[in-house]
């Protein structure tokens, strides 16, 4: 890892003030109001949540803002907007007016069309001759031959868990687009997640959010964050939701973090989805849940964004369903459930649509932007049982130190056995080998819990002979995986050819990772020991960072796709440093599609 500059909040605010100056209203906007600068009523509005852009195409982009009224009965307000080719907003290429009101939570979203490909644009909003937003910057996607595309990829931004330092880094990066893979907000009340001792900031509202008003208020709090506003102001976003935009471990008709005492899940889901579309710069269609969509970066990258939560996901399996009386897992019953061809994450319609996109695309790289890990995270079953004990103890607010110590001891034993097996040690006993071979997926909320659906998607990528990259978030840890398909019988992993895809997964913006569950906190030696153990035990896992917060940068060229993980030193202070890990890369073409480490 390499260290970068240190930053302070005071220095950052000074730089913003120096660069922003007084916000002026350009002539193209003042002219929209005629002689009545009061906008027809006495309410006063301000732009308290910044501006944003998103879902860029080669000829269009969404621009967004929210006007905040000073009273609850403000009524309708006309908001003017303009898009220009210069920051002074003099070379205007498009402009217009939009009416918003309380029914839209005073949010404004415009799909600006007729733009030039691969072009930087500036945009601004106003509600009167005196009140204008900051100027945002955005960029349309390129067309034709493209030499390079850089994506900043992030997920899991929990406001109470810490400061959004990683958003500030993305705002100042050279990324073309920020891809947010979900958990943009969290639904929990104060002290729930994170726990009270780990909470850095209070959520608004303080209670768990359930209603449309609740979800709107939570988004308003997140979008008041200085660093998140800066990221939205400077970069176009391409977003997809995960579960916490509704509730933990959401599936098509329920969620782990929802019960009957909280009312109708359908009403809660619909409220959450409405607020998401109001507050995010996403292109909104007739079906608000159908947000899978595709973006073409010329002939270089086709980015396919998948929806894996609300449309079709079956309820997650649980190991508790398959426990024997002696505490072991009924492997036969468990595998039969995993092999159920009716279980799905994407649903048939979305799967066929994505397969069609991949088949029709001639781009060098096919990229699946989605939420949960697709790599095979199979670990010894005894570790899963012990990890479950640790999680249960922590969730109940208990002292998990004894369970964590036992888990660490078991992990050490298993790593030793696995290393002996890899080195061909003939003294490894059948009982020892059985401890290693008796594996199960550790995260049934991920693609590991939807085995058939994963093989359908991977099979299409392999059959089409595509260079496929999977982007993932959700776990709060950083990963890199080669993903091989199963054999024709579905009984074993087929490593006879190239992986069907490789996966790059980002750590979280603020949400805690393995350091919480394993108890090693900021102990770097313990972290590295744990990472070594996991990468040893999980076949095809090429990288893991189990403790640090940040984002990843994925750069595509015609000859390779490379990833760097960017980590902030702290999320409890605005005085932080940045380190990087990587790169890992993959080259296109048969025989090359696997994760490599550059020669040192």
| pLDDT at res. 326 | 85
User: In the block, which residue shows the tokens 């209070």?
Assistant: 202
What's the mean per-residue pLDDT of the chain? Answer: 93
The verdict on 352 and 473 lying in the same domain is yes
The verdict on 406 and 511 lying in the same domain is no
Bridge partners of 470, per DSSP, are: 368, 503
The verdict on 392 and 517 lying in the same domain is no
Q: How far apart are CA 162 and CA 159, in angstroms?
A: 6
The total of structural domains in the chain comes to 3
The verdict on 538 and 401 lying in the same domain is no
Q: How far apart are CA 152 and CA 173, in angstroms?
A: 8
Q: How far apart are CA 223 and CA 457, in angstroms?
A: 35
β-strand pairing of 120-126 with 501-505: unpaired
Q: Residue 106: which domain range?
A: 26-141
Record the tokens describing residue 374, joined without a space: 């697709």
The verdict on 101 and 58 lying in the same domain is yes
Asked if 377 contacts 442 with a C-beta cutoff of 8 angstroms, the reply is yes
The verdict on 60 and 119 lying in the same domain is yes
Inside any domain, residue 10: no
Cα torsion 271, 272, 277, 281: sign: positive
| pLDDT at res. 394 | 85
Record the tokens describing residue 390, joined without a space: 């640790």
Inside any domain, residue 552: yes
- Give φ, ψ of 83 to 5 degrees: -125, 130
Residues of the chain with pLDDT under 50: 1-22, 33-38
Burial class (CB in 10 A: 0-12, 13-18, 19+), 42: exposed
The verdict on 487 and 566 lying in the same domain is yes
Sheet with 92-100: list strands edge to edge.
92-100, 77-84, 120-126, 136-139
| pLDDT at res. 13 | 31
| pLDDT at res. 11 | 34
Helix (H) or strand (E) holding 332: helix 331-338
β-strand pairing of 51-54 with 236-239: parallel
| pLDDT at res. 464 | 96
The verdict on 570 and 482 lying in the same domain is yes
- CA 229-235-238 angle, to 5 degrees, is 100
| pLDDT at res. 40 | 57
Record the tokens describing residue 121, joined without a space: 């644009």
| pLDDT at res. 41 | 58
Assign residue 110 the CATH number of its domain. Answer: 2.60.40.380
DSSP structural state of residue 7 = B
| pLDDT tens sequence across 238-266 | 999 999 999 999 999 999 999 999 999 99
Look at residues 117, 141, 165 and tell me which one is the last residue of a structural domain.
141
Asked if 67 contacts 77 with a C-beta cutoff of 8 angstroms, the reply is yes
């Amino acid at each position: 890892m390499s260290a970068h500059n240190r930053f302070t909040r005071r220095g950052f605010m000074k730089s913003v003030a120096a660069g922003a100056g007084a916000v002026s209203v350009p002539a193209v906007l003042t002219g929209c109001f005629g002689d009545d600068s009061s906008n027809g009523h006495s309410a006063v509005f301000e732009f308290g949540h910044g501006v944003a852009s998103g879902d860029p195409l080669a000829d269009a982009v969404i621009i967004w803002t929210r006007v905040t009224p000073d009273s609850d009965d403000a009524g309708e307000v006309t908001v003017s907007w303009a898009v220009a080719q210069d920051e002074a907003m003099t070379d205007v290429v498009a402009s217009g007016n939009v009416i918003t009101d309380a029914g839209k939570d005073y949010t404004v979203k415009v799909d600006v069309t007729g733009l030039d490909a691969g072009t930087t644009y500036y945009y601004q909003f106003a509600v009167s001759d005196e009140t204008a937003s900051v100027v945002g910057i955005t960029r349309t996607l390129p067309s034709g031959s493209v030499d390079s595309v850089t994506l900043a990829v992030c997920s899991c931004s929990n406001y109470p868990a810490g400061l959004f330092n990683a958003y500030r880094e993305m705002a100042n990066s050279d990324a073309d687009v920020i891809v947010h893979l979900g958990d943009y907000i969290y639904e929990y009340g104060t002290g729930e997640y994170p726990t009270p001792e780990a909470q850095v900031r209070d959520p608004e509202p303080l209670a768990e959010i359930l209603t449309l008003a609740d979800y709107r208020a939570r988004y308003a709090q997140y979008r008041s964050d200085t660093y998140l506003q800066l990221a939205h102001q400077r970069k176009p976003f391409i977003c997809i939701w995960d579960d916490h935009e509704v509730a933990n471990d959401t599936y098509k008709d329920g969620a782990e973090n929802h019960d009957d005492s909280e009312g109708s899940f359908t009403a809660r889901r619909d409220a959450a989805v409405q607020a998401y579309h109001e507050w995010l710069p996403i292109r909104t269609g007739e079906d608000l849940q159908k947000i899978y969509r595709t973006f073409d970066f010329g002939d270089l990258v086709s980015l396919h964004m998948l929806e894996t939560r609300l449309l079709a996901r079956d309820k997650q399996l649980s190991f508790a369903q398959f426990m024997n009386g002696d505490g072991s897992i009924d492997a036969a019953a468990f595998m039969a459930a995993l092999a159920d061809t009716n279980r799905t994450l994407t649903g048939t319609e979305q799967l066929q649509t994505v397969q069609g996109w991949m088949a029709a695309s001639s781009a060098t790289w096919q990229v699946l932007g989605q939420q949960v890990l697709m790599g095979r995270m199979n670990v010894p079953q005894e570790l899963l049982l012990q990890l479950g004990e640790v999680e249960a103890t922590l969730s109940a607010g208990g002292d998990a130190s004894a369970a964590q110590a036992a888990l660490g001891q078991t992990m050490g034993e298993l790593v030793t056995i696995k290393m002996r097996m890899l080195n061909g040690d003939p003294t490894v006993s059948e009982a020892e080998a059985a401890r290693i071979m008796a594996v199960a997926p550790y995260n049934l909320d991920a693609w590991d819990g939807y085995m058939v659906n994963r093989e359908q998607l991977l099979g299409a990528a392999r059959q089409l002979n595509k260079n496929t990259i999977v982007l993932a978030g959700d776990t709060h840890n950083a990963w890199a995986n080669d993903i091989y398909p199963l054999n024709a019988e579905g009984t074993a992993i087929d490593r006879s050819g190239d992986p069907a895809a490789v996966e790059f997964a980002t750590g979280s913006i603020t949400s805690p990772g393995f350091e919480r569950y394993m108890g090693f906190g900021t102990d770097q030696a313990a972290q590295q020991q744990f990472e070594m153990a996991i990468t040893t035990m999980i076949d095809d896992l090429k990288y893991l960072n189990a403790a640090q917060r940040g984002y990843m940068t994925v750069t595509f060229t015609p000859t390779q796709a490379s990833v760097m993980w960017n980590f902030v030193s702290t999320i409890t202070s605005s005085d932080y440093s940045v380190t990087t890990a990587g790169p890992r890369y993959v080259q296109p073409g048969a025989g090359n599609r696997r994760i490599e480490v550059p020669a040192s």
